[in-house]
Chain A
Amino acid sequence: MRYIRPLSIEDAVGQLAGAAGPAAVLAGGSDLLVRMKGGFIEPELIVDIKAIAGLSEITETAEGFSIGAAVPCAVLGENAALGKAWPGVVEAAKLIGSKQVQGRCTIVGNLCNASPAADSVPALVAAGAKAVVAGPSGKRTIAVEAVPTGPGRTSLAKGEIIEAILLDKRAPHSGDAYQRFIPRTEMDIAVVSAGVNLTIDGQGIIKSARVALGAAAPTVLLVEEAAEVLIGRRPDEATLERLAKICSGACRPIDDKRGTIEFRRKVAGVLAKRVATTAYKRAGGK
């Protein structure tokens, strides 16, 4: 086993591509070290990306925000501009783990761990976030929802790293929100979760919306039918009930130690209503 700390993304990509055995990217380590401890992964090479220039920064540009792959979630929470523009994404990132884990975990790690229950992912998908992928054959930008392909599996090829997550500049009268259900108040993995991102017009009518569900299927669900229910309407009771019904119906959950199929279906709808209401208020709707 080797541990390296490259200084450039090219070096990191080259090392990962050239590794003889299994290689792992280390940013916050809050998933990787647990998997190593449990004997689920024995990497031949660990590539610590925290010394790579720019990867530990959040940058605001004319197009929006770029969040480096090594930025801990705690730092997302401390960035006032990001929190103002994308409160749903930030509140999702802040839900991952404890204070201790917050100081280490990253949204890119959360995405690449490819757990169906990853907290930041539904919020990122609802936000229309993109991932910048660096690999042996250059860079490409893909939608966040294109990254996970199944529990623990991603579309990334050998040698590829996500170096940043991109969020658009915020349109006026927009809001996003994320909520998950957990049995305790902290420290649990989402049993089911929902993220909503929307924009309203001057009359409070929803112009555009994206609705995503977590822990409801093998990968994050972008529920377009749910968004269509919201678009052109206000979140009145009837609309919210329809939203809940569609979200419950869109779920393809499993029974496991964290919840039952029936519970996940029902609560997915409940959470969708609640986050849609919050997102609408954040957009300035009344």
Chain B
Amino acid sequence: MNFDPRFSGRNFTSVGTRPIRPDGVDKVTGRARYGADFNMAGQLVGRILRSPHAHAVIKKIDTSKAEKLAGVKAVITAADLPDLTDGDAAMYDILDNCMARKKALYDGHAVAAVAAIDARTARQALKLIEVEYEVLPHVTDVDEAMKHSAPLINDAIFTEGLEEKPVKPSNVSKRTQYGHGDVHQGFAQADMIVERSFKTEQTHQGYIEPHACVASVNADGTAELWVCTQGHFVYRQHCAQLLGLEASKLRVTSSEIGGGFGGKTHVWAEPVALALSRKAGRPVKLVMTRDEVFRASGPTSATSIDVKIGAKKDGTITAAEATLRYSCGPYAGMWAEIGAMTAFACYKLENVKTVGYEVLVNRPKTAAYRAPSAPMAAFAVESAVDELAKEIGMDPVEFRIKNAAQEGTRASYGPVYGPIGIGPTLEAVKNHPHMKAPLKANQGRGMACGFWFNFGGQTCTDLNIGMDGSVSLAVGTVDVGGSRASLSLVAAEELGIDYSHVKAIVADTSSLGYNDMTDGSRGTFSSSMATISAARNAIKVLRERAAQMWDISVDDVAWEAGHAVAKGEKHGNLGKLSLKEIAAQSGKTGGPIAGHSELVADGAGVSFATHICDIEVDPETGSTRVIRYTVVQDAGKAVHPTYVEGQYQGGAAQGIGWALNEEYIYGKDGRLQNPGFLDYRIPVCSDLPMIDTQILEIPNPNHPYGVRGVGETSIVPPLAAIANAVSNAVGVRMTHIPMSPPRILAALEAEREG
């Protein structure tokens, strides 16, 4: 049956309400099972040996002593994994990151692993593995890495995207460019130009649950993997491909996930756990320590960005340009490219040009982090926009409204926008009481906008109707923050039944077709589309069964508010049949009733947000306090508004941490100095105020209910909003994130000394 995904205005019964989530009781009673909460009979403990060097050739690894230790059941190095040297380069990099083959490329890079009968034996065994390193010069700073004199991280990388193919290898893996018009001409028309350079430090997603999995590989090539992941189908694909397993024989079950934010979209230790299990012939549980999580998994890019924006006295931006350098870790990435695409996406620009450089450094492989790459670009651009507004004497909100993109605007990254929410969020901010609230001494207010693409992708759901009329919904997108509640609401809405009769689960990879992972804010967007489609397919079956029960044509049966209704004068005496009544007869009318859907959820619908924040600065110490914070964002349609608010608040909190205190600090030796929650300072409860939210609903034309993804955009504006607030509070433009107290105090002292 053809599924029409177009938006149709309708009155909702279930969607937009705020019921308790279906997985809630398990989570408040401690029964929910996360990655490390699962065990298998006879399981071993896996541990990974990691490089203490930022950059070193692995000359030799001697595992013989570890192998001889009583209780050790398997020791592996890269030699035990398939050699993908001449295969797919991307897969080679993924596997090399899981276990270094030739060189250790960052402090924390895995070089060997053991499986033993208990944690103590495993730890002991790691100490007995002898690795001979030839330590090489390293580079961890993004700007340093671009210099010709910088140590070369991979001599097979030649910068892509240049007009002429370079003859020498480089730490810059790729140059990309976006934009349209002629920026030179545009700047020539400007009355005022602001040009500035910005830096942001590397941050980590900081999910509270470390990576954890239990792997079990059998002698016949079948395998099971229990794992905390944002995408178990993707993990299956990658693990199978990396280890030479058949995908359908590897059953991956996603555990409850204790936060991911993009960091659990990449395989890290899972292929290692499977390889250990294969070698030991027993299940292996592998749980990362917090230290390992910081040193070896998921940080975002550190960046260095130059921005130039020009405007006329009337506030019209005439040209905008940015050069963005993003660190990728030691492997090629596409992070600067995303930054280059998002940088000016909020604005309607005649002349715009952005150039991105992907830069290799001796740091862990850069991973996605909630609207990856966009917050840093927004920090630079929105800081410059604020400064330019000030220079020409315009209110920063009015200045943005004047230049905001609209329906029909050609985005700086190429496409033409449909109906979008940047203008409405700015209007809402302009009229928000927060903007008019008085400020006290040493306080400053800032605001900023943010954009994110959102993503749809491959999606598949099964909806099964039990004989008692209750509905089980099996989805393939991992629930990272309440999507089982929102998808149950959607199923209830479409079927016309009560939410309490729907139970949503996340199915394993053997029970459902392929699903892309929960990234790109797609969980609720794409799975709700597939759920609506599956429900409509089930309704078709329900109508057929009702027709059978009534012995009339299915064409005369409509579905209204959870009931089959016989249409037409001649059936006037038939009344209606509830879903429950039809389900009860299903055994006699053709068997189980179900609806399935497999689709590519296109048309995710871009997302915009505008944030306001007030900051107080202690001018003697550079200490900051967030006094008030407001998020305004377009949700398209908020399916479960409480969890939409939660996404807004959570993204804002992460952005606040990034703006003020979070950063990877490397020593001169190239080692990470703060791989723990003590000195990697994520916001604690007493650091934050209540975070006010305002949900706007500008329907996405490409979704039946108008839904847009909401998960990521909320982390895009905070860096800039806070930088603008701090700059306004202290009277000095802050250009380096995080704005930690030493940086603020140093900026103040420099200003005082003139």
Contacts and interface: CB of A to CB of B under 8 A. Distances in A.
A258 B740 CA distance: 10
Contact of B742 (A184, A187, A259, A270): A259
B684 interface: yes
A85 B665 CA distance: 42
A184 B620 contact: no
Nearest to B665: A257
Nearest to A181: B621
Contacts of A270: 620-621
A186 B686 contact: yes
Given A181-B621, A270-B620, A187 B678 contact: yes
Contact of B686 (A183, A185, A256, A267): A185
Contact of A266 (B683, B686, B745): B745
Nearest to A266: B745
A260 interface: yes
A191 B665 CA distance: 15
Interface residues of B, number: 26
Interface in A252-282: 256-260, 262-263, 266-267, 270
A185 B674 contact: no
A259 B744 CA distance: 12
The main secondary structure of chain A at its interface with chain B is loop
A243 to B, nearest CB: 14
Chain A residues touching B, range: 20 to 34
Interface in A23-41: 38-39
A239 B640 CA distance: 60
Contacts of A187: 677-678, 681, 684
Nearest to A188: B681
A78 B620 CA distance: 33
Given A188-B681, A189-B678, A256-B673, A183 B746 contact: no
A284 B620 CA distance: 26
Interface in B653-694: 660-661, 665, 673-674, 677-679, 681, 683-684, 686-687
Contacts of B745: 263, 266-267
A185 B741 contact: no
Contacts of A263: 622, 741-742, 745-746
B623 interface: yes
Interface string B105-129: 0000000000000000001000000
A257 B679 contact: yes
A260 B674 contact: no
Interface in A48-67: none
Interface string B704-745: 000000000000000000000000000000000000111001
Nearest to A244: B620
A245 to B, nearest CB: 14
A258 B665 CA distance: 10
B654 to A, nearest CB: 15
Nearest to A37: B289
Interface string A124-165: 000000000000000000000000000000000000000000
Nearest to B621: A267
B665 A183 contact: no
A3 to B, nearest CB: 15
A7 B536 CA distance: 73
A183 B684 contact: no
A184 B661 contact: yes
Given A257-B674, A262-B746, A181 B679 contact: no
B746 A185 contact: no
A184 B665 contact: no
Contacts of A183: 623, 660-661, 681, 740-741
A181 B291 CA distance: 25
Interface in A154-184: 181, 183-184
Nearest to A256: B673
Contacts of B625: 185
A72 to B, nearest CB: 20
Contacts of B742: 259-260, 262-263
B673 A185 contact: no
Interface string B606-650: 000000000000001111010000000000000000000000000
> Which of A183, A186, A256, A262 has the most chain B CB within a 10 Å cutoff?
A183
> Which of B623, B625, B661, B749 has the most chain A CB within a 10 Å cutoff?
B623
Interface of B: 123, 291, 620-623, 625, 660-661, 665, 673-674, 677-679, 681, 683-684, 686-687, 740-742, 745-746, 749
Given A181-B741, A263-B622, A266-B745, 14 more contacts: A39-B123, A181-B621, A183-B661, A184-B683, A184-B686, A184-B687, A188-B678, A189-B679, A257-B665, A260-B746, A263-B741, A267-B620, A267-B745, A270-B620
27 contacts: A38-B291, A181-B623, A181-B741, A183-B661, A183-B681, A183-B741, A184-B681, A184-B687, A185-B686, A186-B684, A187-B677, A187-B681, A187-B684, A189-B678, A189-B679, A257-B674, A257-B679, A259-B741, A260-B746, A262-B742, A262-B749, A263-B622, A263-B741, A263-B742, A263-B745, A266-B621, A267-B745
Lowest 8 CB-CB distances: which A-B pairs, in order?
A263-B742, A185-B686, A257-B673, A257-B665, A270-B620, A260-B742, A257-B674, A183-B661
